[in-house]
Chain A
């Protein structure tokens, strides 16, 4: 099959980018989207040009590295898959395919289709964990957890941190990403203990990084390759509002912590 590709090319973070058109031909419908781009890159290299840079790693839909905005949709036209799981049979012979990087103030372009998503790491660093050290923990079965609750926590924890939610959101908001982590941990007794502190810290960090807010268009849920539900955003909102209104005034530290 043959395709016309319109691809965003940008030398580095400072450079001005533009769309460049390429043609690829003889692509098998069974090849993955990245294998199609590999073929384009081999052509470019052998023709003495610089290949198109894009982020990819596991190529099996779990690492969350890939991040292409294809024909107006993060991860392309197929629901519930990452770009690396997209196959060329999802496109018609002769199609023009527009490929852009994720766009958000918090995700600056590094080169071509690669963006810097370390803002998501920073949000996790603000509190996306249970504050325990290695060792000295109770036996794994000492705290039973209702299966339904544990399953819900898993559903939220399935987030791969690709940032498609931010890319799809009209406001470049990271609310689904944060909501997933906040509710994953708040749903489990182990994480619930510091839920209030966590949600405040994570939201504060998110706001400082230049993400937008949620206007409940639910584009995030529609584009999430792992089908993470916007219910998690409601849980985040609820957690934040209760924590904001109900949290006791913090007492000055008497030097016993840390």
Chain B
């Protein structure tokens, strides 16, 4: 396949994106265990499972690769797209399109910043790149999460990030299928709805945790 073609790049980005979208509910499921009123037992079991199951261990580098591909191709595609219009319009475009679809790069960027912080907070701790705060084991994600969510700044940023991720996903799901050439007069409208529902669930689900911890500690 001519990997350099604009459609191939877009398709790889879409495929990687869809792969990431599959991972997201798994992560959400584990996170929601934070809310179980058992002092973090079930969360720790899940975390332990994630940390030791060989399949998950294999999946992790693939996941990183997915992120890398999605981000790299996203940047490449955006760069080429920007170069396609060196002189812009005096009057900004007011075509009748969904507003968010035009800002995939921007919403993606916000999510990327979040991802960097998130990695620093947890993953880097785990592999020992960063020293854990005083008194917390570097594998104790439960305590670490609770401490982080005690900060209203962190919680707000967390919620905001997932709001942007929601915007991103809302367009991304149906867009990825369109890019991969899946379009059907009967099923595409349903797919669009499913994509939006998925985006809402992800945003709401992830936001639920800091909200719940903030209001009902």
Contacts and interface: CB of A to CB of B under 8 A. Distances in A.
Q: Do chains A and B touch in the complex (CB under 8 A)?
A: yes
Interface of A: 6, 8, 19, 69, 71-74, 79, 98, 100, 103-106, 168, 170-173, 200, 203-204, 206-207, 210-219, 222-223, 230-231, 233-242, 244-245
Interface string B7-49: 1111100000000000000000000000000000000000000
A74 B97 CA distance: 13
Contacts of B88: 103
A219 B179 CA distance: 16
Interface in B122-153: none
Given A217-B102, A235-B183, A72 B7 contact: no
B62 to A, nearest CB: 21
Contacts of B10: 213-215, 237
Contacts, number: 152
A72 B89 CA distance: 8
A7 to B, nearest CB: 10
A104 B84 contact: yes
- Interface of chain B: mostly helix, strand, loop or mixed: loop
A72 B101 contact: no
Given A219-B95, A234-B181, 6 more contacts: A79-B96, A98-B91, A170-B93, A214-B6, A222-B97, A239-B181
A182 B42 CA distance: 54
B86 A237 contact: no
- Interface of chain A: mostly helix, strand, loop or mixed: mixed
Contacts of A104: 84-85
B5 interface: yes
Contacts of A214: 6-7, 10, 179
B90 A8 contact: yes
B185 interface: yes
B166 to A, nearest CB: 17
Interface of B: 1-2, 4-11, 77, 80-98, 101-102, 104, 171, 174-175, 178-183, 185, 188
16 contacts: A69-B89, A71-B91, A73-B95, A79-B96, A100-B90, A200-B2, A203-B7, A207-B4, A212-B6, A213-B9, A214-B179, A231-B183, A234-B181, A237-B10, A240-B5, A245-B1
A213 B181 CA distance: 14
A240 B171 CA distance: 22
B51 to A, nearest CB: 37
A173 B80 CA distance: 10
A218 B101 contact: yes
The residue among A106, A204, A215, A244 with the most chain B CB atoms within 10 A of its own CB is A215
B181 A235 contact: yes
A237 B86 CA distance: 26
Contacts of A69: 89, 91
Contact of A212 (B85, B102, B171, B183): B85
Nearest to A74: B95
Given A69-B89, A235-B183, A216 B101 contact: yes
A237 B96 contact: no
A166 to B, nearest CB: 9
A203 B6 contact: yes
Nearest to B86: A105
Contacts of B85: 103-105, 171-172, 212
Contact of B84 (A71, A100, A212, A245): A212
B3 to A, nearest CB: 9
Contacts of B182: 234, 238
